[in-house]
Every structure is written in structure tokens, then in C-alpha cells.
Amino acid sequence: MGKTAKKKRATPKAAAREHTYPVSLGQVVELEVTGLNHEGAGVGRHEGYTLFVPKALPGERIRARVVHAKKNFGFADLQEILQPSANRVAPPCPVFDQCGGCSLQHLDYAQQLLHKQQIVKDNLRRIGGFPVEGEGAIPVHPTLGMDNPWRYRNKAQVPIGEREGGLIAGFYAEGSHDIIDINACLIQHEANDEVVLAVKRIASKLEIPAYDEVNHTGLLRHVVAKVGASTGDVMVVLVTTEAFIPRREQLIEAIRLAVPAVKSIVQNINERKTNVIFGDETKTLWGDDVIYDYIGPIKFAISARSFYQVNPEQTRVLYEKTLEYAGLSGEENVIDAYCGIGTISLFLAQKAKRVYGVEIVPEAIADANRNAALNGIENATFEVGPAEVVIPAWKEKGIRADVIVVDPPRKGCDEALLTTILQMKPKRVVYVSCNPSTLARDLKVLEEEYVVQEVQPVDMFPHTGHVESVALLNRK
């Protein structure tokens, strides 16, 4: 046998480099909070070291306890507010301090809108290298908010658990999988609260067991409630670990009695050990396969698995801005990359010569075609596949786009799609974004051929750190 290799000892200098944080775990420090990060946590510095403190606000002096430390930054829990911000308000939600859902309820809503505008500006400057202040700056307009920023969500996805023999339903505590039992959520449509309460009560009475994700036992994993904000239609989706539901007919009848507006009761079966909510098999237990809603004049069919924007009031604002930026006269061909169920495509089709939508999810394209037929829209064509593959194929067939609209997921546009846009050279590109950092990254690439004219933030998710925005690019 060869000699045993000796383990190298870290030199004193190397050891010092590894552990030279100016804070230690459990240490309580006083901080001046100077800003908010993109998730809504307060930002302060101790001896030059950055600490993120949830529920702290700019302008406050606080005491915070360090709970996690990395090389360049750490996290701390708010212990005491020594000097409160003038913009701090009392959060109306009774579980705000426990729930991980709304990180900004304690900040005055007008200030939330200013913060979201600043987040977009900061990302454009830091990641994209774009000027956002002074001469030659890209206009980043004030965030378009809501008159009443409550009860806006048309979909609730609620995990089910058990406690002391009864069922609980709510949202996870921040940074954990511990369910906070909730009877009302102030950003959910009231109909969603009604569904969750009813299912929790009825399933408890019928002794239908909740899923235990540790032991992978039990039946009822999630309740998903959907409501058509303009129609009042309600869908109840029961996500279970297997197809068999004990006392199923009693369960269905009790839900129908408890929620008179229900139009559809659906079961989704998810047998896997996973945090993903839905499984592959979905079946209608009672009523219709879909419910309906309108965004502006366009009617949409919403199935259990359909992606549909959760704030229909602000979705209309976002899409109207997208339509305005597209600058359509009725003579243009428009390509809608990442078209989903056709929500933006059908809005654009009102004023375009023809719209071509592409989406990688086959079920979404089926929904898009159904929604086009539902509205009698004949100038929209949809195709399944990756945008970066389908769009060049359209180009080979002689299809030319005057305008390209992109509405990518949080990871932003595929690099190949950006290359395709640069090669196709449409007159305008309208970029709808749910992530300011990937928006800034992608605009930097498109700047090779395009001028970024302006950016409009839209508050789709009041009281959270998320911000949507839409950018207009004109070809140089």
C-alpha cells in the first residue's frame, strides 16, 4: 500500500481569510437601514458588511440578530425598532409576522410603488449599464398601482395538513414547510377563502386524511381555488396522492352546498414525493372542465392546469400598455413568443393583421386555440415548440414580423431567441418582464440593434416584492 496522504493544514492567513466576518451568528447589532432589496428585506451595514433584515424599512434604526453569514453578506432577524420609518404602517393581516407571503404589508402603498420603480431602475443601471437618471436616461415611469390593492388574487394554492386530529390549511411560514393555519388571506379573492374554509371543514368531518410530506402518507395534498373575477365562476381542485377518495359523493355534494358559485370540481393526482403541486393526471369530478373570465373584451376559458395571470385587473393594465407599445395599425404581422394560453396574442389580434403565437407547452397551445375560437378571433395562429426553433422556421417560410412581443419566465429569454430577434430585425420589440434583472440582461443584448425607448413598471402583486414591467424597443 502507498503512503497515506497527509491532510494539508490551513495556514493562519488562509484561516483568517475564511473567517473574517465582522459579525458572528447570534450577535445582536444596531443598524441604520438604508434600502430594500428585491425581496423587500431591509438593507443595512455593520462595519461595511451588508445585512439583510426582513420587515425592516429604509430610514429606520434597528437592533437585529445575525442568523446567517456568507462571505459578502448575511441575514438577520429584526429584534427591535429603535427609530421607526415615517412610511411604516400597521399590517392588517393577523399572521403577517409568521406567513411568508406578503413581505411589504408594513410599508405604505405609495412607497411600495416608488420602491418597485427604483428596483427596475437599479437593475437597468447595474446589470444592463443603461442610464436611468439625468440627460439621455431611459424613462422608467412611475409604477402603475391599484386603487384598492387588496383581495386581488384569483387563484389560491393551499397546502393541507393535520393538527390535533383536525385539518389545517394555509401558507408556509417564511423559510419553512410549516403550515400557518389561515381562515382569510387579505390578498385573495373572498371566494378563494370560502373554498379553502369549506374543504378544510368538510374533509375534516368526513375524516379524509391530509398528506404528510415527511412520511408520504395520507391523501389530500393541496386545495387549489380559482375564481373568474368578472364572472364569479368558481373552480375547486383537490390534489390527492391517489385516485380513490373515500366518501367522494358526500364530499362533492357538501362542497356544492357550501360554495353555491362553484361551477367545477376537479381532482388532480400527484403520487410523487415532490414539492411540485400538480401531478400529470387530472379529471373532472363534477360540473364543467373550465371556468370563464374576461380581461378587457377578451373571454378566456381557464382549466385546472391553465396558467392565467392571478391579478386580472392589473393584467388588463399590463396588456393595454403592451398593445400601446406595439403601435399597431392593422397592417402588422406580430409574433408573440412565450404566448401561453394566448392572453397577450388575443389582445394584440384586435389591432394586428395577424398574430403568430409560440409556446413550448402543448396544453397551453390547446387552450390558446380554444380561446381564439371562443372569441371568434381568426387572425391568430399558434404553434407548439421552443420559440428559438419555431420562429426561424417561420422565417424560412417567408413569415416576417413587424413587431415581436416576448413575455418570458423569470429566467428571461433563451439566448437563441435573442439571436433570432436580432436576425429578424422587426421594427419594434415589446418585452414584458416579471424579473427586472433578466430584463436588464436581455435588453443589453438587444441594444446591438435596438434603442430602449421607455420602461413601464406595473404592480401585479401588491404587498410583495415582485414587480412586472413592459419595455419598448425601436430598431436603430
Instruction: State the catalytic residues.
Output: 434
Give the integer Cα–Cα distance in Å for 290 and 302.
5
Give the integer Cα–Cα distance in Å for 194 and 414.
40
> Residue 94: which of 201, 180, 189 has the closest Cα?
180
Give the integer Cα–Cα distance in Å for 460 and 469.
9
Strands 403-406, 468-475: pairing kind: unpaired
Q: CB–CB of 112/118 below 8 Å?
A: no
- The 3-state DSSP class for residue 375 equals coil
Helix H or strand E segment including 255: helix 248-258
- The 3-state DSSP class for residue 370 equals helix
Rg of the Cα atoms in the chain:
25
| 281, three cell numbers | 393526471
DSSP 137: P
Distance, C-alpha 375 to centroid of its chain:
27
| 339, three cell numbers | 404566448
| 345, three cell numbers | 396574442
| 279, three cell numbers | 401531478
Give the integer Cα–Cα distance in Å for 297 and 409.
25
Give the integer Cα–Cα distance in Å for 467 and 457.
7
Give the integer Cα–Cα distance in Å for 157 and 196.
9
Which residue has cell 395534498?
A: 221
| 306, three cell numbers | 391553465
β strands within 241-303, DSSP E: 262-269, 281-287, 291-295, 298-302
Please provide the DSSP assignment of 171-184 as one string: EEBTTS--EEE-S-
Give the largest CA-CA distance in the chain.
81
| Sign of the C-alpha dihedral computed for residues 393, 397, 398 and 402 taken in this order | negative
Which residue type sits at 35? G
Give the integer Cα–Cα distance in Å for 444 and 344.
24
| Sign of the C-alpha dihedral computed for residues 279, 284, 286 and 291 taken in this order | positive
